[in-house]
Amino acid sequence: MSAAPRGDRREAQHSCLMPHASCLYNPPRMPARIALGVVVIAALLSPLRRELYVGDETKYTQVVREMRAGAFFLPTLNGTPFTHKPPLHFWIVDLLTYPFGVYSIWPFVIPSLVAFALLLWLLARWSGAMAAFVAGTSLLVWGSAQTARMDVEFTAMLTVAAWMIERFFDRDDSRALLYAAIATGIATLIKGPMAPVIVVCLVIFECIRRRRVPRGNYLLAILALIAIPLLWFVPAVFIGGEAFWREIFYKQTVGRAVGSWVHRSPPWFYIVRSPLTLMPWFFLFVVAAFRRVDERAKFAMSWILAVVVPYSLISSKLDVYMMAAIPPAAILIARLVESGASAVRRANLLMLIVFAIIGIAGLFVQPSQIREPEGALVALPAVRALFVMLIVTSVAALIVTLRGDAVKSTLATGLVAIVTLAYAAIALIPLANGLASPRPLVTAIEQQHVPPEQVACFVCPHLWVRGMPRELERVRLVDASEVSSAPRVIVARRKDSPQIASTLAAYRKSGELRMIGKWFDVYRR
């Protein structure tokens, strides 16, 4: 066969220098799929043994208990409408408690685990197994997939919406626009009005980037976007009354937006925090953000901005809010990895060196160097083994990175933290349960051997542990005015006990416990 003419060869070479998807290196899919399977299986380990931890998780258990007592359509917390989050996530959890029980962890974590699997499937179908792997090994996504929070569900629905928006721009497909609106409406019922804000920003940024407005039935999409949340919100306002409306509108919506101008966190909060929120892909993300090898990578950049910009302007700033930016960051990174760029291995080497340094530093930390009582835990063999595991996996991944290509390097880097944390889920969960769950509080109450209704908890978390006796639901969480009713036992957070000092004068201290890094005292009359 004769060689191609010189001019044709030059044209072909020039075309493959252009940032187009067809020029990307097409790596074997099987290694990424196997690694993805390891990531999913690792996410199932901690729910097998862990408790729900103090904070949002235990608060949500109380919301669900009150839903089962009759507050299903309009969830409440301590008898007051719960306005911090919409109800869809709680409806799902509540329904799951019927086959599993209220004091099983599965009703609380199954929604996140299913959403995690859905998110990875969506990314694999849309942009390949590597994009799914990068998102799944992002510690923010992987860790949240094992919790009772709704963030992974929210992110999965936004990913559906973004996928459909890209299709809408590429094909002027009105059905895709409608599907995006439906997914956004569902996301709004999961976590609130930031869903349509993000999606509208994405559409605006893409219109600016592409310098065109695609044709479509915008009216139908807007109606669907608005109607889905209103199917719950309008009846909820009638049930909850004016107080509910004021709480939702003035505090949870307008209040957060206006408060942004006086909030202590600056607009660049998420940029400063990005090395942590993008762990372990921060260095790769920086490279990918500047290269943007094809159209999909450019779309992903618009999507990232659609998340970061509005969240930077509202008052409430939490790292977990950036989870919605992980899927586009994963797509951006995956496109770079699949291009075979040499910078991929260099970025991974830098991340692996950081991991190794963390592991080595952990071995040299001494309990005396940590002020809190929990510092003694670093000397435990199981904790030292965690750092050894991090060092060993980092060195193994370094060898793979030095000898392999961009894909193998990225797979090895992503598995370092996952394998290390999988060990932690097996060996350290009992330790974590004693530090972060309400189990010490439940144990202290049970040791008093008094009827639960005669126990009052002042500035304490809601009670929930696996298999908790249902009678402990009668333990009262009280404020300063209610504690004066003179229960037989009072458990109070030490920091706040001066607020009820006059009441505690009639009691003797009978015990103490430490939970979530804080001291609590038990008083008995």
| pLDDT one-digit tens code per residue, 336-364 | 999 999 999 999 999 999 999 999 999 99
* Cα distance between residue 297 and residue 308, in whole Å: 16
Phi, psi dihedral angles at 256 (to 5 degrees): -70, -35
Nearest to 441 by CA among 525, 516, 499, 524: 516
pLDDT at 255 over 90: no
Nearest to 297 by CA among 338, 254, 353, 257: 338
pLDDT at 165 over 50: yes
Percent of the chain having pLDDT more than 70?
92
Backbone φ/ψ region at 55: left (φ over 0), alpha (ψ -120 to 50), beta: left
* The model's pTM: 0.91
**Confidence band, pLDDT 50/70/90 cuts, at residue 83:** confident
- In whole numbers, what is the pLDDT of the chain averaged over residues? 90
pLDDT at 262 over 80: no
Percent of the chain having pLDDT more than 90?
79
- Please give the average per-residue pLDDT across 120-135, as a whole number: 96
Taking the mean position of all CA atoms in its chain, how far away is CA 22?
34
Q: Exposed, middle or buried, 361 (CB in 10 Å: 0-12/13-18/19+)?
A: exposed
Nearest to 379 by CA among 387, 227, 34, 390: 387
Determine the pLDDT at residue 485.
78
Q: Where are the beta strands (DSSP E) in 187-289?
A: none
C-alpha to C-alpha distances, 137 to 12, 111, 289, 330, nearest whole angstrom: 37, 19, 19, 10
Cis status of the peptide bond prior to 193, with omega within 30 of 0: no
Amino acid at 384: R
Determine the pLDDT at residue 149.
96
Strand partners, 79: none
CB 155 within 8 Å of CB 141: yes
**Confidence band, pLDDT 50/70/90 cuts, at residue 484:** confident
Q: Which range has the worst mean pLDDT, 121-130, 246-255, 358-367, 381-390?
A: 246-255
288, 291, 296, 299: CA torsion to nearest 10: 90
**Confidence band, pLDDT 50/70/90 cuts, at residue 261:** very low
220-239 residue pLDDT tens: 999 999 999 999 999 988 88
What DSSP designation does 268 have?
T
* Cα distance between residue 105 and residue 51, in whole Å: 7
Domains of the chain, by residue range, sit at 26-338, 342-434, 438-524
Q: Exposed, middle or buried, 416 (CB in 10 Å: 0-12/13-18/19+)?
A: buried
